[in-house]
Chains A and B, each alone.
Chain A
């Protein structure tokens, strides 16, 4: 039957000629190629802790809880981030702001405990999309390695941005 597309190519396995069957010319050629790499090509390795790969601008790394322009925590512990999280990595306990704490928390309600399990987190960025207060961003670095599972549950001490005037 005639092929309609006319794209078909008939391939036939040609028997190797004596030059090809001798192996050695091909081996010498291959060794030339590897020698070129040995002598001239620079290593592409990035020695990680000392050197760092350049990330793209929308790289999603470790989370940070933001402060507003007066240095107050933006988070109101509404729980939308925890709700939106597909990996269920976020959990929090809310508390009410006491009088005199207005310089610490922006709204009347704030997160007393805010924990992200970095082993569960898939860095999808849905929490920052869900946040109505622009309080959480995944703008940090790579989450560092550690020995124990419990050390991967990051609390507010690691997540909240440094205060403004310090």
Chain B
């Protein structure tokens, strides 16, 4: 790897980092606006035209708020919690293939930070790390509500990770690779994995809701029971980081879903349009982002439709329904593969 490669990779990392931050920032705006439309309201409309500057105002407010660290809390861990939450949220984007290659002169630019051959495993590792931010923050607060929220988050994430992993196994049986780049390349044109794995996708998306702590599985921050859940004691930008991490997680899991089930940067008839490969790549990036934004919208759509699960129902669904379904999915996939190969 030469110097140019390193510089190009650094630029790519910064660009992807900025994109995920901006998308997360405007997800907060979109969430408020979409929630308003679902409820026949207008939503934020004062800061700038159509309230477009609302995230900036929110961020400024978060930074200017008084920062309170409870006297009886573990101060170091209290700060580590939100830092860990936002860090693990941000590093997930490293293995996602954002597009094919761009040819600039003789240089071939690969629109993926790194193509490790265990990409999906990496994503799972990062996602499981995310729960530490919530747990450490909730525990360090020295508050029973925070602790309850943290315990819920931990048990919920562990339960749903199993079903998520099992649903992925069926996918890996058909793709035969863990590399996200190859998985995306295999779904050329219309051969999206969701067509072959509809049940697996259903289980995966339900688990994604649980992993990102989104409604209807937002029990860790269940405000009707737990005040604010794990971030009850947090204020200022530390609270902001927790909320922000949720939106980045949503962006990353939307990107993962789009990549492994909805063809990533592939779109129908991508090579019969007669365009040069650079244009196909650019259109592919746009297609990927369209899919990602659809999933983000879907996350919000579900949030403003479905009420929150009760805790025992949550565990019931995870252990008694999703895990058996995922195992059945593996078995069916195996049988079909054996019969038709």
Would you call the interface of chain B mostly helix, strand, loop, or mixed?
A: loop
A interface footprint on B14-40 (CB within 8 Å = 1, 0 otherwise): 000000000000000000001011111
Of the listed stretches B178-186, B227-235, B298-306, chain A binds: B298-306
Q: Known contacts A31-B301, A34-B301, A35-B301; is A43 also within 8 Å of B37 by CB? A: yes
- Nearest chain B CB to A53 CB, angstrom units: 15
- B306 near A43 with CB under 8 A, answer no
Chain A residues, Cβ within 8 Å of B302: 27, 31
Instruction: Tell me, yes or no, whether A38 is within 8 Å of chain B by CB.
Output: yes
- Report the nearest B residue to A23, measured CB to CB: B317
- A38 near B37 with CB under 8 A, answer yes
- A27 near B305 with CB under 8 A, answer yes
- A30 near B306 with CB under 8 A, answer yes
- B305 near A42 with CB under 8 A, answer no
Alpha-carbon gap, A44 to B43, bound state (A): 11
Chain B residues, Cβ within 8 Å of A41: 40
Number of B residues whose C-beta is below 8 Å from A?
A: 14
B interface footprint on A1-40 (CB within 8 Å = 1, 0 otherwise): 0000000000000000000000000010011011101100
- A37 near B37 with CB under 8 A, answer yes
B interface footprint on A31-67 (CB within 8 Å = 1, 0 otherwise): 1011101100111110100000000000000000000
Chain A residues, Cβ within 8 Å of B42: 43, 45, 47
Chain B residues, Cβ within 8 Å of A44: 40-41
Instruction: Tell me, yes or no, whether B278 is within 8 Å of chain A by CB.
Output: no
Instruction: Tell me, yes or no, whether B45 is within 8 Å of chain A by CB.
Output: yes
Number of A residues whose C-beta is below 8 Å from B?
A: 14
Chain A residues, Cβ within 8 Å of B304: 34
Chain B residues, Cβ within 8 Å of A37: 37-40
Which residues, 118 to 166 on B, are CB-close (under 8 Å) to A? none
- Nearest chain A CB to B89 CB, angstrom units: 26
Q: Known contacts A27-B306, A30-B306, A38-B34; is A45 also within 8 Å of B41 by CB? A: yes
Chain B residues, Cβ within 8 Å of A31: 301-302, 305
Chain B residues, Cβ within 8 Å of A42: 40
- B305 near A43 with CB under 8 A, answer no
- Report the nearest A residue to B297, measured CB to CB: A38
Alpha-carbon gap, A59 to B90, bound state (A): 55
Q: List 25 A-B contacts (CB under 8 A).
A: A27-B305, A27-B306, A30-B305, A31-B301, A31-B302, A31-B305, A33-B305, A34-B38, A34-B301, A34-B305, A35-B301, A37-B37, A37-B38, A37-B40, A38-B34, A38-B37, A38-B38, A38-B301, A41-B40, A42-B40, A43-B37, A43-B40, A44-B41, A45-B41, A47-B42
Binding site for A on B (CB under 8 A): 34, 36-42, 45, 301-302, 304-306
Binding site for B on A (CB under 8 A): 27, 30-31, 33-35, 37-38, 41-45, 47
State the 4 A-B residue pairs at the shortest beta-carbon distance, nearest first: A45-B42, A34-B305, A43-B42, A38-B37
